[in-house]
Amino acid sequence: MLYGFADGELELRGRRGKSRRLRGRFPYNKRAVLSDGGKNGRPQKEVIASRAFSYRIDRPDEDIHLLVGHSYDRPLASRLAGTLLILDSDEAVTFDAEIVPEIEDSPYGQDFLAAFTAGLIRGISPGFRIPPPITVPDAEKVEEEDPALGRAIIRTIFAALLYEMSFVTVPAYKEAEGEEARSWELTQGGLMVPNARARALNRWRA
């Protein structure tokens, strides 16, 4: 699973009883810096293009979860549970979630709401997979940054399968798997060529 990050827009509202309404927005076409290149390397940036997540969003029978920190052990809402409405547009993915009393009263629910109220939840991060080239040949592209803007290598994602959206506290991609899965380079033909380990980590799984 790969993870993205954006500051986005977050809103928490109270409702009758103890239920809460959470609303959020993950903007498309924002460049995320995966690596500054260190001392001798080149910076790596990533862009998620408009409607890159539309495949699963447009299929209401495909479940999508709202989580805390990409943990399926800390769910807040889901589409098939009827507590998550998620919409796609050219500008952003937006969602409206109901946090039911049972979730709000759970230990992790209380911790999440306390952190959110304290301003410690800083962004929204989608969890997704890239389809294999045999299924979607042009799901992604790697290219040189405009020299007038910098010297980074930029990866643009045009199609990906969205499985969850998470509230996160720090603007970073998950280190354990995401960093290796993004081990890509630019060739003369402009193609992404992962190394052997990255290819194994990014292997397509249904």
Find out whether 123 and 165 touch, Cβ atoms under 8 Å: no
Residue found under tokens 């009263």: 105
**E strands, the chain, in order:** 2-3, 9-14, 20-27, 31-35, 44-48, 65-68, 71-78, 84-88, 92-99, 123-129, 140-144, 153-157, 161-168
pLDDT of residue 131: 93
Which band of pLDDT confidence, cut at 50, 70 and 90, is reported for residue 197?
very low
**At residue 180, what are phi and psi to the nearest 5 degrees?**
-70, -40
Which band of pLDDT confidence, cut at 50, 70 and 90, is reported for residue 108?
very high
Task: Give the least confident one: 18-32, 44-58, 156-170.
Answer: 18-32
Task: Give the least confident one: 34-43, 101-110, 149-158.
Answer: 34-43
SS percent in the chain: helix, strand, coil, step 5: 15, 40, 45
pLDDT of residue 192: 42
Give the closest residue to 100 by CA, choosing from 82, 115, 118, 121.
82
Q: Is the pLDDT of residue 193 over 50?
A: no
Tens digits of residue pLDDT in 39-53: 888 888 889 999 999
**At residue 109, what are phi and psi to the nearest 5 degrees?**
-65, -45
Most confident of 54-63, 95-104, 150-159: 54-63
pLDDT of residue 179: 33
- Say what percent of the chain tops pLDDT 70: 73
Identify the residue with better confidence: 68 or 20.
68
Over residues 14-24, the mean pLDDT reads 74
Find out whether 74 and 61 touch, Cβ atoms under 8 Å: no
Find out whether 93 and 25 touch, Cβ atoms under 8 Å: yes
Give the closest residue to 153 by CA, choosing from 144, 162, 161.
144
Which band of pLDDT confidence, cut at 50, 70 and 90, is reported for residue 93?
very high
Overall pTM surpassing 0.85 (yes/no): no
Mean pLDDT of the chain: 80
Tens digits of residue pLDDT in 124-146: 888 999 999 999 999 999 999 99
Length of the chain: 206
Q: Is the pLDDT of residue 123 over 90?
A: no
Q: Is the pLDDT of residue 200 over 50?
A: no
What is d(CA 182, CA 104) in angstroms, rounded to the nearest whole number?
35
